[in-house]
Structure formats: C-alpha cells, structure tokens
Structure 1
Amino acid sequence: MITVYVLVNKYQKIYIGQTNDVVRRLNEHNRNHTISTSGKGLWKIAHSEEYEDRSTAMRREKALKSSRGRAWIRSIILKGSASVG
C-alpha cells in the first residue's frame, strides 16, 4: 500500500507527499532529513489516504498539490471539518 499524506506544522504550513511507510517518513520530516520541511518545526499528519499502487497515489498527490487541492486541504482539513488521520 502507498500512502498519500498531508503534513501540517504549527505555522499552518502544508507538505504533501507519498510513501510506503508513513510512520518512517514522518520521523524523517521531524528529524530534518527532508530539505523541504527541515527547520520548519514539528510536523503532524493532518490527512492520509491509502492506494494499492504508486501510480494512483502519485496522481492523487499531484491533485492535492494543485491550487484546487490545496484549497480543499485548507478549507476542509485545517478548519477541522474533516477527519484527521
């Protein structure tokens, strides 16, 4: 299974990615092993979705990174209207 995940930090910054091990990947983000999230505080998972294959997960990741996808994340997830998970 491949997980598409949305991370949020205390400054309400968003990071979107995909991995086959979300716990390991979150630890990498929080230990500053990822340049794009390094030095931006602790991250927590705000949303995640699982997919059977990487190509489907990559399409969803791309959709979430679009302006419409980011607007959905901000309006639904960050405002607490959707389940956090």
Structure 2
Amino acid sequence: MKQPSIYIITNNKNTTLYIGVSSDLKARIYQHKNKLIEGFSATYHLHKLVYFEALDDMESAIIREKRLKKWNRAWKNRLISELNPSWRDLYGDLF
C-alpha cells in the first residue's frame, strides 16, 4: 500500500542529511541504498534511513518536506534523535 511520507537519510558517519518525499517509502529507500537515483544521495553515499513520517496526502507531505528543508542542522538533529536516538537504519522497520 502506498503512503505519502517524508524521510531523512544520511551516510554512515551521519555527516550529511537528505530530506525527501515519496508515495512508496520502501521502494524509494531501496533506490537510494542501491544508488539507482543519480544525484546528491548517490554522490554523498546517503543510504541510511534515520527518520520518516507518514502523512495523510501528498500535498501535506510536500509541505512538510519543504518546511524541514528550511530548518537548521541542530533542529534536524534533534528531530531525528527524539525518535531514533542511536540514528540506526530504520529501513528494516518498513517491512
């Protein structure tokens, strides 16, 4: 079942963040993990899912994504750490 979601991925050292939106989070993260998407995430080896939120509709997801992208790094770190203190890869939780 497809569900509009926003997500944050990072690299193994948690030094770079990428915020994205998808209607099929499992498939999208699989694409990131396997570098099937050219661009920022592939260049910086961003494949570890550290945060995600399911939203009611794609419009809400896009609005949330745009807001999060404007946050400073400290706010993003705090958001991730509140729900995922060890910054573990949440990809396995999607199954």
Structure 1 match to 2:27 = 24
RMSD (Å), alpha carbons: 1.8
Tell me how far apart the structure 2 counterparts of residues 31 and 47 of structure 1 sit (CA, whole Å).
Answer: 19
Q: Which residue type is aligned with residue 36 of structure 1? A: F
Stretches of structure 1 lacking an aligned partner (at least 5 in a row): none
Larger relative strand fraction: 1
Counting aligned pairs with the same residue, the percent is 27
Tell me how far apart the structure 1 counterparts of residues 79 and 53 of structure 2 sit (CA, whole Å).
Answer: 15
Tell me how far apart the structure 2 counterparts of residues 27 and 37 of structure 1 sit (CA, whole Å).
Answer: 12
TM-score, normalised to structure 2, is 0.73
TM-superposed deviation, 1:61: 0.1
Number of equivalences:
81
Q: Which residue type is aligned with residue 61 of structure 2? A: A
TM-score, normalised to structure 1, is 0.80
Runs (4+) of structure 1 exceeding 2 A deviation are: 39-42
Residues 33 and 46 in structure 2, CA contact (< 8 A), matched pair in contact too: yes
Q: Which residue type is aligned with residue 52 of structure 2? A: S
Is 1:33 the counterpart of 2:36 in the alignment?
yes
Larger relative helix fraction: 2
Q: Which residue type is aligned with residue 2 of structure 1? A: P
Is 1:83 the counterpart of 2:83 in the alignment?
yes
Tell me how far apart the structure 2 counterparts of residues 27 and 39 of structure 1 sit (CA, whole Å).
Answer: 16
1:47 partner SS:
strand
Distance 1:44 1:33, change over 3 A: same
Tell me how far apart the structure 2 counterparts of residues 62 and 45 of structure 1 sit (CA, whole Å).
Answer: 18
